[in-house]
Amino acid sequence: MQKQTLYTKSKAALTAEPKGTVMLRKDVSALEIVPEQHTKGHFGVIAQIAKGSKLEICGTGFNERTYKVRFQNRLFFVFSQDLGFEASYTF
């Protein structure tokens, strides 16, 4: 049985100052972070953010391979390799 992880955050996370920005060099998939008061125990939708979009880096993600970013006033988790911060993996 898989354990579901709940990512909680405060209102401050939505208004946090960005730690930098990055312009996407390719389309990337992102997992939306939904405020806890809107849904308990769930993330939001999986979105595709288009090449050329500007993302604000807001902090670390849920593990060492992800970052929390802001795009169009919504928070998402994205993989660091999709941001160009680490080498791509081949499977």
pLDDT tens readout for residues 6-53:
334 444 444 556 688 999 999 999 999 987 765 565 678 899 999 999
Q: Indicate whether 13 belongs to any domain.
A: no
Work out how many domains the chain is built from and give that number: 1
Cα–Cα distance, 7 to 29 (Å, whole number): 18
Q: Indicate whether 15 belongs to any domain.
A: no
Q: Indicate whether 44 belongs to any domain.
A: yes
At 58 the pLDDT is: 93
Q: Indicate whether 37 belongs to any domain.
A: yes
Q: Indicate whether 88 belongs to any domain.
A: no
pTM: 0.71
Neighbouring C-beta atoms of residue 66, cutoff 10 Å: 19
In residues, how long is the chain?
A: 91
Mean pLDDT of 50-74: 93
Host domain of residue 67 = 26-79
Q: Indicate whether 73 belongs to any domain.
A: yes
Q: Indicate whether 14 belongs to any domain.
A: no
* Residue 89 vs residue 76, higher pLDDT: 76
